[in-house]
Structure 1
Amino acid sequence: MSGADRAGEPGVLRAVFDGLGTGIYATDAAGRLIAANPRAERMVGRPAARMLGHDMHDLLHRDADGERIPRENCRMLEVLADGRPREGGDEYLLRGDGTTLPVIWSAAPLELPGEPAGLVLAFHDFSVRRAAERQTAAYLQALEALTTRLTVVSEVSSVLISSLDIPRVLRKLGRMLVPDLADWTAVDVLTGQPDEVRRVAVHSAADPEAAGELEGPLPPLAESAGADLVRALRGAGTVSLDAADLAREPDTPLTAAHRWLFDRLGGHSAVVVPLHSRRRVFGAFTAARTGDSPPYTEDEVMMLADIGRRAGLAMDNARLFDQQRHVAETMQRQLLTPLPQVDHLQMAARYRPAQVAAEIGGDWYDAFLLEDGVTTMVIGDVAGHDLQAAAHMAEVRNMLRALAWDRREPPSVIMQRLDEAMTNTSDAPMATVVFARIEGREGGPWRLHWVNAGHPPPLLVEPGGGTRFLEAGHGPLLGMSATLNLGLRWPDAYEDLPPEATVVFYTDGLVESRTRPIDTGMELLCRHASALARHGLEEFCDELLERMDPRGDDVALLALRLPRYGEGAPGDRTPPPSRGEPAYSPADPSRSAPGAEAMDAEEVFTQAPHGVDRPPLP
């Protein structure tokens, strides 16, 4: 007999029913069990003999907690009502031991000869998959929590390295931890004075007004090892506080001030984290939780401790940067030149270092009196932005002073001598320089006599606001002609200067940056200088720098303002505009202008060389 002929035999059907790896229940039209295969018996832990005749829904169908499900909500029994198959995956059957079995199931009508249709239910044990789903969900939840924490740490790290303004950074840090890691935060720092502590930031989303009132100086740091804040500030590590710790009587004034935070802002648990590097402790921050927020977990404590370490490293870097900046600034001011006061001529200078840690470079300005009584002005730039560039700058500046001092030679000849001296006696790299003489008698008229070695041209600003660049006298950079034996020359240039005009000498950092081409910068310089033409010279320089807003490179600025015609001439008693007050310059205040070390303010004006000894204009 063929397999097809045997398919309908009762024995074959019974073998299939008993051997299926799926649980099978069959009911009559009323929902009473009439059959159960061995797999169903094992899965539910109930012998078929004890189940047959019982209502399947009442006996077996439960929710996840083992509670009965209302009959009208049973999707399996809906098959009996309309004869349409159903399936589902979020159902539970009651085991014989009282536990529940999660199943996925499929139900279909059961047609029995001569009887109303019942139903047949096939189901699989879903507990393994359900456990796998729960484990996967737990993994995903843990991964999400880890990702959130890493995101917070990444954002905190970005804030910590974004600025050297540490109080501002610490205030921002406190805000970032609320509400993800704390309901409120407070940051206390050691000021650098013995045992002096200051609370620089308190942040509470629930009570910002009270938080702001809690900032300010704190009681001095005591030696008590039992005080939580003291322990953190002494570098003993992160301290966790629970309700019992917060209920203890404070043993130092500083601890009492710390407890006052909890009295005002609330809190049942907290973590006090030192802000530290390997070298020192800079302070501590407190992260607290209030109300229904859960206590801190061990992972959260470790995360806050890591944030404290990162903040301490940022504070250490800022401290080292500040020290380096102070040393560099002191050295730069020693290298820069005080400005002389000559007759009624006004001069002002500014120096802005590059926005890097060293804050020292090769830009410089200079102004001094020559032996023939003429005032000279210099602006220059030696290649580089570091200590070596500053050393080369000082070397080139001193060479130029020595070569120009006692020689009544045109600026072009002085520049050629300087180029040869740099090549043969110095390792200074290429440099750009404008070297100018202010020629004329006291009271005017005045003439600018200059030479330009590859430098941006000076800007002439007329009293009415007209501007133009003095582009004549342009020659090659220093350090190139003699080195390459090019035989290049520097032409002299002349310009008659109108009374009350301003001449601006500057380095390229004022007009050029990575975000602004030099042509655009020079157009802006003309526009701003024109608008400032009638301002006082000091204000002119300050405002010009403010409006130009140079970025990235060193900037040196030297400005000359001429008096009205006739001021300072023999017989004129108009006092010089800055009589008795040295012209402002970025140079160290302990330095004085060349040739004036032994003179007081009065002598500078009465004994300095005057125009009668100067060569007249041709």
Structure 2
Amino acid sequence: MVGPEDTATAGGPLTPAAPAVLAGTLEALGAGAYVVDEQGLIVAVNTRAEHLLGRSAAELLGHDAHDLLHRGPEGQPLPRTQCAMRQAFHAGRTAQHDEDWFAHSSGEVLRISWLITPFAAGDGSAGTLVVFHPADHPDDPAPRPRPPASRRLTELQRLALLAETTTRLTSTLDVDEALHRLVALIVPRLADWAVVDLITERDEVWRTLVVHAENDKLVQREEFQGPMPPVPEESQMPLSRALRGVSATLASPQTYRRAPDSGIAVEQRHLFEATGIHSAAIAPIRSTRAVLGALTVGRGDNPADFTSEDLPLIEDIARRAGLALDNARLYQRQRKVAETMQNHLLPQMPGVPGLEMTVRYVPAPESSQVGGDWYDAFPLSDESTALAIGDVVGHDLEAAAGMAQVRNMLRAYAWSQKEPPSRIVERLDGAIQHITDVAMATMIFARIEPAENGHWLLSWTNAGHPPPLLVSKDGLTSYLTDGHGILLGTQSNISRPDADTLLPPGSTLVLYTDGLIEEPRQTLDEGLNRLRQHAAALAHRPLASFTDHLLRRVRPVGNDDDVALLALRVPKT
């Protein structure tokens, strides 16, 4: 094991939410199990481990696992340099040992077999899983050799694989990523071929993924992927049965050499002939609600055949995959609905003679793809053009609904009330406190109209929003900090200021939300300076290119906030 001074080199630290997720996963194992972080401190433990070690979770969590548990055969402290588990930890590899000793709370030593395996969660954090149980042969002190690769997994390996399957698949909500993680867990550990057939939402079968282990690499064989014939209701062939939800079965080339009873049987026969698979196990991929597809694991290079004893493990892996895929599909369906809603909520930009205008919206990566950030531009009754950018607190459907209310009310006031921007926003602030559920929001409301000598007059008021950025055609930049007042929703009834400025020919005005510039562990000034620097460098580009590159360069990596951006360019004289 490892100590606080020994830091694993692969992956980052476990996130604060990880132990709670891991604790539930470990309870499903039939052996003692615990997880250590990159410093070797125990962060999760199951009740079986508590029982075997005679220690409660409170006595285990937060302690250095090596110092607390690992001992020599006589109960003496084990030097770190002699600890096989610690060596495997630092090597970042899976390892097992048939005989070792852990300290029991009674002062005695517990003779155990163990398996250690690293894993990476979906957020990039890393940890190490230790699975152990009392040694099966207490009278035989000699370590036993590992079984050859062609033999079945040991019980510890099986438990570790199931635990890793659950951890890896439930830590992503992307269907494609979940499928690639699934086959990476299986190949080459169980088989040298993995095939995933999925049933689409239109009840069509699609051979989604075919992967082969070649020279220690996983190679996707796209020539075998694609649409499949329909599932016959009466076919007794293994793949057809699995796609109807029947339990896992074995298959071989001989299975499909008989007269085919369906198009799927023909495709499966072709798969066996083209890949050289001589033994396969086929299991249904099921959720709690429906059959999602089938998993085929095959051996071509590995000479050992699958047996009926292998089927429970493969069926269990497929079942866990089904639950993860179902969650991912539900999430992606929600995202699609939310994206459609967002497209209807965010308006198309009007054509304004003499002005170029472009907008961008990037949703928060961890939200339902909608949020409170918004932009707007629309003609006013006096033939000027209104511009707006804003942010309603939140990153969910409620925030999006609040955003739509604020935007529509602003349009109504701006069109009907021929008043300065400050007065329009004052009316809006008073209204949203009484007839919406919006708690707080920031915004800039402006109007723009032609002036003399190719200039355009911009008038605006700012309700607690990041200041607009003005970029000249020569790359000179300035933030428009005038006209700044408090955000909406404070119920302060303080008069709001107005400001105005002339936009010179060829200049670019950038309105944006705080997701573009805010980054953890950096000040707001650093974000504003980053935006200013890149905007100046991109001033010569066409407006669409300017906007796309600005987003790509300035938006913080790993940003967890949505971003709305409106860029406007005055024509050159």
TM-score by length of 1: 0.64
8 Å CA contact 1:321, 1:357 repeated in 2: no
Once the two structures are superposed, residues 124-147 of structure 1 have per-residue CA deviations (whole angstroms, 9 ceiling, x without a partner) of: xxxxx9974259978999999333
Q: Which amino acid aligns with 1:176?
A: L
Q: CA deviation at 1:478?
A: 1.2
Q: Letter of the 1:338 partner, please give it.
A: Q
SS of structure 1 residue aligned to 2:154: helix
Retained in 2: the 8 A contact 1:185–1:202? Answer: yes
Q: Is the contact made by 1:363 and 1:381 (CA closer than 8 Å) also made in structure 2? A: yes
Seen in structure 2, the aligned counterparts of structure 1 residues 255 and 204 have a Cα distance that, compared at 3 Å, is farther
Name the SS for the 2:294 alignment partner.
strand
491-500 or 193-202, which moves further after superposition? 193-202
Shift in alpha-carbon separation, 1:137–1:561, aligned structure 2, 3 A: same
Secondary structure of residue in 2 paired with 1:133: coil
Q: Does 1:176 align with 2:185?
A: yes
Change (3 A) 1:479 1:198: same
1-structure distance, mates of 2:397, 2:203: 34
Counterpart pick for 1:400 among 400, 410, 432: 410
Greater mean deviation of Cα atoms: 463-472 or 297-306: 297-306
Q: Distance in 1 between matches of 2:247 and 2:464?
A: 59
- The Cα shift of 1:164 comes to 4.1
* Paired position in structure 2 for 1:287: 297
Instruction: State yes or no: 1:167 paired with 2:176.
Output: yes
Asked if structure 2 preserves the Cα contact closer than 8 Å seen for 1:185 and 1:204, the reply is no
Aligned residues of 2:252 and 2:277 also touching (Cα < 8 A): no
Name the structure 2 match of 1:222: 232
What is the alpha-carbon distance in structure 1 between the residues aligned to residue 489 and residue 280 of structure 2?
66
Contact 1:513 1:553 survives alignment (8 Å):
no
Change over 3 Å in CA distance of 1:526–1:265 after alignment to 2:
same
Q: Give yes or no for contact 2:253–2:272 (8 Å, CA) kept in 1.
A: no
> What is the identity percentage for the equivalent residue pairs of Structure 1 and Structure 2?
45
Deviation digits for residues 302-359 of structure 1 (CA, Å, limit 9, x no counterpart):
2211211122222212221222112212222222222111211111111122223522
Q: For residue 455 of structure 1, what is the aligned residue in structure 2?
A: 465
> Do the aligned residues in 1 keep the contact of 2:286 with 2:293 (CA within 8 Å)?
yes
Q: CA deviation at 1:385?
A: 1.6
Distance 1:296 1:489 in 2: 78
Measure the CA separation in 1 of the matches of 2:326 and 2:509: 44
Partner of 2:514: 508
Tell me, yes or no, if structure 1 residue 231 matches structure 2 residue 241: yes
Amino acid at match of 2:399: A
- Sort the Cα spacing of 1:210 and 1:309 in 2 relative to 1 into closer, same or farther, 3 A: closer
How has the CA–CA distance of structure 1 residues 172 and 260 changed in structure 2, closer, same or farther, with 3 Å as cutoff?
A: farther
User: Is the deviation greater in 402-411 or in 325-334?
Assistant: 402-411
Where does residue 88 of structure 2 map in the other structure? none
Q: How far apart, in 1, do the equivalents of 2:547 and 2:220 lie?
A: 44
Alignment match, 2:554 = 548
Within 5 Å, which residues of 2 pair with 1:55-204?
A: 132-134=138-140, 145-204=154-213
- Which residue does the alignment assign to 2:312? 302
2:569 paired residue number: 561
Structure 2 counterpart of 1:559, one-letter code: A
Residues 425 and 208 of structure 1: CA distance in aligned 2, closer, same or farther (over 3 Å): closer
What does 1:227-376 correspond to in 2, within 5 Å? Answer: 227-241=237-251, 245=255, 248-290=258-300, 293-296=303-306, 298=308, 300-376=310-386
Whether the 8 Å CA contact 1:197–1:220 is kept in 2: the answer is: no
Q: 1:440 aligns with which of 442, 450, 455?
A: 450
For 1:301 and 1:450, locate their aligned partners in 2 and report how far apart those are by CA, in whole Å: 69
Q: Is the Cα contact below 8 Å between 2:178 and 2:324 reproduced in 1? A: no
CA gap of 1:528–1:392, structure 2 versus 1, over 3 A, is same
Shift of the 248–563 alpha-carbon distance from structure 1 to 2, 3 Å rule, reads same
Structure 2 residue runs without a partner (length 5+):
1-134
TM-fit CA distance, 1:544: 1.7
Q: Are 1:384 and 2:394 an aligned pair?
A: yes
Q: What residue identity is the alignment partner of 1:512?
A: E
| Map of 1:489 onto structure 2 | 495
Contact residue 188 and residue 284 of structure 1 kept, 8 A: yes
Code of the aligned partner of 2:547: C
Report whether the alignment pairs 1:520 with 2:549: no
Cα distance, 1:436 vs structure 2: 1.0
Q: Distance in 2 between matches of 1:518 and 1:437?
A: 27
Residue 461 of structure 1 contacts residue 529 of structure 1 at CA under 8 Å; is this kept in 2?
yes
Once the two structures are superposed, what CA deviation does each residue of 1:270-306 show, in whole Å capped at 9, x if it has no partner?
Answer: 2101122122222212112346643335553222112
Check 1:556–1:291 CA distance in 2 against 1; reply closer, same or farther (3 A cut).
Answer: closer
Alpha-carbon shift at residue 539 of structure 1 (Å):
1.9
Alpha-carbon distance in structure 1 between the residues aligned to 2:210 and 2:422? 61
Of 155-164 and 175-184, more deviation after overlay is shown by 155-164
2:439 is matched with which residue?
A: 429
Query: Aligned pairs, how many?
Result: 433
Query: Which residue type is aligned with residue 529 of structure 1?
Result: A
TM-score (norm 2): 0.69
How far does residue 438 in structure 1 lie from its aligned partner after superposition? Answer: 1.0
Contact 1:269 1:289 in 2 (8 A): yes
Opposite residue 422 of structure 1, the aligned amino acid is I
One-letter identity of the residue aligned with 1:497: L
Q: Relative to 1, partners in 2 of residues 1:168 and 1:421: Cα closer, same or farther, differing over 3 Å?
A: closer
Q: Name which one, 1 or 2, has greater alpha-carbon Rg.
A: 1
Q: Distance in 1 between matches of 2:218 and 2:363?
A: 39
Distance 1:235 1:135 in 2: 46
Which residue identity is paired with 1:563?
P
2:271 partner amino acid = L
Counterpart contact for 1:204–1:211, Cα < 8 Å: no
> In the alignment, which residue of structure 1 is the partner of 2:9?
none
| Cα pair distance change 1:198/1:191, threshold 3 Å | farther
Structure 2 matches for 1:568-607, cutoff 5 A?
none
Q: Distance in 2 between matches of 1:213 and 1:388?
A: 45
Report how far residue 162 of structure 1 moved. Answer: 4.6
Distance 1:449 1:248 in 2: 80
**Which deviations, in whole Å up to 9, do the C-alpha atoms of 1:431-470 show, x marking residues without a partner?**
1111111133487321211111100000111111122211
Alignment of 1:7-86 (within 5 A): none
Supply the AA of the counterpart residue of 1:222: P
| Matched letter for residue 532 of structure 1 | L
Compute the RMSD of aligned alpha carbons: 3.1
Q: What are the equivalent positions in structure 2 for 1:402-421 lying under 5 Å apart?
A: 402-421=412-431
What's the CA shift for 1:474?
0.8
Q: Is residue 214 of structure 2 the alignment partner of residue 205 of structure 1?
A: yes
Residue aligning to 1:597: none
Structure 1 window deviating more from structure 2 (340-349 vs 205-214): it is: 205-214
Query: Which of these residues, 512, 528, 536, is aligned with residue 530 of structure 1?
Result: 536
Maintained 8 Å contact 1:339/1:347 = yes
1:184 Cα deviation from its structure 2 partner: 1.8
State the alpha-carbon separation in 1 of the partners of residues 176 and 339 from structure 2: 22
- Supply the distance in 1 between the matched residues of 2:496 and 2:136 (Cα, whole angstroms): 89
Unaligned runs of 5+ in 1: 1-128, 566-618
Question: Is the CA contact (8 Å cut-off) linking 1:473 and 1:493 kept in structure 2?
Answer: yes
CA distance in 1, matches of 2:535, 2:572: 19
Q: Alignment partner of 1:340: what SS?
A: coil
Residue by residue over 1:219-239, the C-alpha shift from the partner in whole angstroms, topping out at 9 and shown as x without a partner, is: 443334211111011111211
Give the superposition deviation at 1:519: 2.7
